[in-house]
Structure 1
Amino acid sequence: LATLHPKRYSEIAQMVQDRAPERDMYLMQLVANVKERFSDMGIKADVSGRPKHLWSIYEKMIVKGRPFEEIYDLVGIRVIVENVGDCYAALGTIHATWKPVQGRFKDYIAMPKFNLYQSLHTTVIGPQAKQAEFQIRTREMHQRAEFGIASHWDYKIKSPSDEMEWLGRMVEWQEETADPNAFMANLKTDLEQDEVYIFTPKGDVVALPIGATPVDFAYSIHTEVGHRCVGAKVEGRLVPLNTRLASGQTVEIVASKQSEAAPSKDWLQFVASHRSASKIRQWYSQERRSEAIDTGHDDLVKELRRADLPVKETLDGETLATVANDLNYSDLDALFAAIGEHHVSAVSVIGKIEKALDELEPGRFKEQATVFHPQRERRDSSKVGVHVEGFSDLMIRLSRCCTPVPPDEVIGFVTKGRGVSVHRNDCANASSLSFDQPDRLIEVEWDDHLEGYFVASVEIKALDRPGLLRDVGDVMSENQVNVIGVETSTNISDRVARMRFDFEISDPTHLNRLMYAIREIDSVYDIYRVVPGGDEQEILSSSDN
């Protein structure tokens, strides 16, 4: 307050200083009076006055529009007793001595706040008709309120149920939230929220954030109850699921018994609890992954049958697990999910399975193999993936002048002593060769089963901004490509960034998907396929969208 509003701070501090002697005397007399009443009733308690902080006074003056005299005269008394029974005994004594202010009593012992804060709050009309606020709590509650649950470990050992249940909910919530920053932000928000207290049909109390709906209530009972929620009754009457609940209401959830029951994405528009939203998002994430696994499994089975490979033996054997590991997938489900989400094709996986089986049983696929030479020396195992119909054992290489990638239309050129050189049909060198030496041109086709790595180059044009290169790199990584070269430059006058990426991809049929993903990045407005040493070949630009 002194830093943000120094003038108001000085004014309030001066008013407090002027009124302090009178107020302190009143507070001392009130504390003595309370102690005397407790002594008469046999209640052991520590009673102390709580002077109001300057910020608290300022907040009430500005936010609630109350005069300084009314706020400053409102004194606070803290009562700390030995047990819960004494809390209520002290409350009864205070109410029997002074008249309580209607609507100012709160029982946070019976209904703790989300952060396990417990205390009895009440306001009474004290001596001289001045209002006095009382907080009544046990020592255990005071320790937790002042210093937090972590400092409360010694009490927790004696009575672990509440604290361990709260910590358990935090651990569960953290596991449901992948982003640690989101977890902390949501936790802070929920700790600061006011709450409503809802009753179950059995009379149990559930604390929910203000604005909570029957869906939030359902998820607070159990995750499955939330997932299967199809209706709700408030005080015995059916209400819409987006109804805002109020303290004291009794809510009953109508849950579906159908196996296909599922949460609705629309619920995310009105749930108030971050835990509810997290549960809904988690369900859809798991559902998408499950569907991707099933789709990937089915696609791989189809390709296994097409390749005349034993389905059960391959799926249950070690070969497929080895292939998954080579592709950096943790298990078969991860591989199936990648196939289902089109990060890798079933055809390329079949090629790796055949290669692995051929290493275990040499010659197994010899009759259907085409002899290839490595495309790049750094990838000795890579294959070109092109064949000439009716010929085998030909030396075939992809031309470096245009780096053809499936499904580019290609043409072959018979070289002198270096086999068949494969060019894109629109390659400038191919056009020259077809004009000068048409007799050396030969038709070539891409293989059905492709494996190895293919080199592609793209150039990206975008309005320069912080984080642009990082965002493009993230998309490359998500699409399982290996970047082998990057060039970037920015035109200072118009702030247009040009970025060229050279990369290897194991499944070139996904090149267009990668380029569309890059095109969706904020501030990217064009992306081109680049021919090394030649002109840019635009295959995706603004007009494609």
Structure 2
Amino acid sequence: MNPVNNKIKDELNTEIAPVEEDGSIYAAPVNANNDPDLYYARLIDKIKKYNKKFDLKLLDKAYAVAREHHESQLRKSGEPFIIHPLEVAGILADIELDQTSIVGAILHDLIEDTDYTYEKVVKEFGVTIANIINGVTKLDKIVFSSREEKQVENLRKMIIAMSEDIRIIVIKLADRLHNMRTLSYLGKEKKKAKAIETLEVYAPIAHRLGIHQIKKELEDLSFETLYNKQYVKIKEMVQERINQRQIQIDDAIKIVAEKLKEVNIPAEISGRSKGFYSIYNKITQQNRSLDDIYDLIAIRVIVEDIKSCYAVLGIIHSIWKPVPGRFKDYIANPKFNMYQSLHTTIISQKGDPLEIQIRTFEMHKFAEYGIAAHYKYKEGIFAQSDFDKRIAWIRQLLDWQKELKDPQDYLESLKLDLFQEEIFVFTPKGKVINLPRGATPIDFAYQIHTDVGHNCIGAKRDGVMVPIESQLENGNIVEIIVSKTPKGPSRDWLSIVKTSSARNKIKQWYSKEERQESYNAGREVMLKTLRKNSLSFKDVPNRVFDEVAKEMNFENNDTLLRSIGSRKVSVHQVFTRIIKKLNQEEEPEKEITVEDITKAPAVYKRSGSGIIVKGMDNVLITIAKCCNPVPGDKITGYITRGKGISVHRTDCNNIVMLQKNDSERFIEVSWDTYAPQRFNAEIQVEAIDRTKLLRDVTNVISEYDLNIINASTSRASKNSIAKFRFVVEISNKYILKDIINNIKQVESVFDAYRVLPRKQQ
């Protein structure tokens, strides 16, 4: 039997554990007294299971140095700081990484957080480990400051580009995973920021490198922190399905095990469930219901060799009927990232679809822990981008691993030399700027902002003043010195800058300067002409200038003045048209009073007016759409210009503004409690999108025999949250409250509320 069988069996058993557990195969046991030696002993036990040649003396030395220098340091949780690097090393041991990685993990915070220098690490542990620690330290300085898509992708690229040894990235991922497990000790805002950074930067990197177990846990921990309502809802829905199907899955596993035993095929058989975030993405991005996700819960069969894989497939199809079109042979036709397995979906005894995956132990280990660019299938990216091409060669190294007997030799060969034509540098606040290789501080300045570029007079690179024409390098922190009395860019910069955007902005500045000179000259000539006629610019409204400009086929007033300044048009011709416009009289606006309103020939009543106006009858009444008052709300009336009396809630934002400037137009109104009446109310519903969701929500409203006046739907592209807005006719706000409470009970709905102006919500 393969020596990793027992470990894989443990992992698979962990995966089938109840959903309320975190599903992690890495979770550390509770250590009540926080004794680092117990954590260290646990780490050694893990290492001995997969690497008999590990230099434990070197590990002891690393632990002793790290413990000594972290001795007085504590984490936010109050536990000794040394436990963190030990847990990071434990995560790497779980995915069976090499000696250099484990030692580097134990020492990874040494240079940054203690007085232990790079030179000391080189002397005591060698240059390779020192460079790995130094690389992790550099990555720790990267600041996630923007969720903008391009910025996030640049950050991912920068992390990889700065990691000359791929083990730097893997240690950083393990470091982030342990930090996410202990996130509860941080404040609310720090939790959110850390979770966003993890979900948008580190989880995708783990995915691209094919480290599935770390990626899955990073996603689920971030998902729980950022979208807790959706997380809880998904968790409840998945648990419900698992509870419903657990007996069925156990029976299927038992049947397969008995059949394989009869034909003497050794195998490990167990169930596995998808990660919550992965399920959420399938529901929202592919518009599928939970019942349409066939691999929500699957059976995994792991055997010794490829021949046994196909034999197991035949046995399974002889027991149950396969679903047409749901068989995938990734052994004969591996995915682009070399993933191999047989996937088939069968109809179980109770008529439910059930996915079964069949693979060898070697294939399973590759799928769970392999370092590969395994990301396009799930992320929905099918084009072979430049980034794909640069990182795709890692897949080849995975094949070479089979030829290298020593895993140390294999991992030493994983050196990254990516993005040779571009560099990634920092602003002082940590934002990543992507520039072409050879770019200068001037290019950097224009990337920050056009005005920063125009006013640039100097630059600091990593805190040291450098000429503005000097070249920048990967990882530089660049600070631009700007002039307090700006004179604009130099024409010489056109031969220095490397980016077309900087070059174009410099050219635009000079073009704008010439236009400004023409504008100033034209304005001066126009002002002199106006003064000769006892006028000024204040006497000529801007609309008059714009109308004259359009009559003379100019875009606007500024363009007209520039043309006067460049002598393309006569100022006297323009002035004549201005005077003609000023002499035209405008008809005064008619003021509408309360008396005008009462003479309105028609009265709009909603099942009877429903509104009593103090001292008035037969008056035009409208219900304000800005706040949509319903019986039971406190209301006031406002006399509009031509639309009768508009009825608002007393706390409506618009009314608060009008009372400051137009208080004489307010009139006392009240609800007519004896008149049959229906009024419009708006309801907002927010939910995780799924099929038949709209039908289920509208059914709730229909149960009250209410009329839906209007309905609109939207679906956010970022997180695929469905939002519905309904305008319904109701008789009072108490019915409205009851409707909203029942809508909240609909599956996947996590919020429903009455829509009011911001102040009233």
Higher relative contact order (CA 8 A, sep 6+): 2
Normalization by structure 2: what TM-score? 0.25
Structure with bigger strand share is: 1
